[in-house]
Amino acid sequence: MGTAPLATGFEGVTLYPGYLDGAAQADLLAELAQAGVFAQAYRPTMPRTGKPWSITQFNLGPLGWVSDISGYRYEAQNPHSGTPWPAMPDMMRRLWDELSDFPAPAECCLVNLYTDPKARMGLHQDRDEAALEAPVLSLSLGDTCVFRVGGFARGDKSSSFRLASGDVLLLGGASRLRFHGVDRVIAGSSQLIRGGGRLNLTLRRVTKPDATP
């Protein structure tokens, strides 16, 4: 595991191309399947309107990020099953330890599943965490996507680059609150996931470390 970072043109946005090699990607995918990610992924809905997203989601670790008609929030239990989220895979814990430069562990591993070839994610900020001093670490698996990074207001100038399977992207420091999103997924660009598609695993620290027991 491990590659040198590439500058993306945005201070605090760091790309590690191919950080996980093919064998590690396949191991992680098997572990995610075992944890029920594919079987139990659900379709989130938008706050207020209840409009369904084009992706499906699941969570691993002590806290899960949830979006539904009542809003965005973190939950210790899966609201669809009423049970705690499965444990965070060791490989994701290790990625956080190696790359986050943050003294406390990640609490949420959000899994975004881009299964529909038209699935995308509009520009948004990750701002539901109290620990904004910790970076957001995201790992891509499967088909390549066109990832967009903007500024600190929705209409700011933005630019895009590709994220391929095994790539790790960090949004930290001055860029922690940059708008970002996924324009599209390039179907057929990876053989990792049977049937195609893309998975994104996002690690976040949610609570301030000194506020936890």
Binding site residues, ligand SIN, CB under 6 A: 112, 121, 138, 147, 180, 182, 200, 202
Task: Tell the smallest beta-carbon distance from residue 180 to ligand SIN (Å).
Answer: 6
Span of 73-81, 89-97, 103-111, 121-129 interacting with Mn ion by CB under 5 A:
121-129
Rank residues 43 and 212 by Cβ distance to ligand SIN and give the closer one. 43
- Position closest to ligand SIN via CB: 200
Q: How far apart are CA 7 and CA 14, in angstroms?
A: 6
* Contact string (CB under 5 A) for Mn ion, positions 157-176, x = contact: --------------------
Say which entry of ligand SIN, Mn ion, none residue 205 contacts (CB below 5 to 8 A, set by partner kind).
Answer: none
Instruction: Examine residue 129 and tell whether it contacts Mn ion (CB under 5 A).
Output: no
Closer to Mn ion by CB, 27 or 152: give it. Answer: 152
- Nearest distance from residue 57's CB to Mn ion, in Å? 12
Nearer to ligand SIN, 74 or 82 (CB): 74
DSSP per residue, 68-137: ETTEEEEESB-TTTSSBPPPPPHHHHHHHHHHS--SS---EEEEEEE-STT--EEEE-----S-TTSPEE
Burial of 133-163, coded b for 16+ CB within 10 Å and e otherwise, reads: ebbbbbbbbbbbbebbbbeeeeeeebebbeb
Among 85, 95, 112, 126, indicate the residue that binds Mn ion (CB under 5 A).
126
- Nearest to Mn ion of 126, 167 (CB atom): 126
- Residue found by looking up tokens 């997924």 in the block: 185
Q: Which is nearer to ligand SIN, 66 or 182 (CB)?
A: 182
Q: From the list ligand SIN, Mn ion, none, which binds 138 (C-beta under 5 to 8 Å, kind-based)?
A: ligand SIN
Please identify which residue in the block is written with the tokens 């950080």: 19
Paired strand residues for 177: none
Burial class from Cβ neighbours inside 10 Å (0-12, 13-18, 19+) for residue 37 reads buried
Least separation in angstroms between CB 147 and ligand SIN = 6
d(CA 187, CA 119): 11
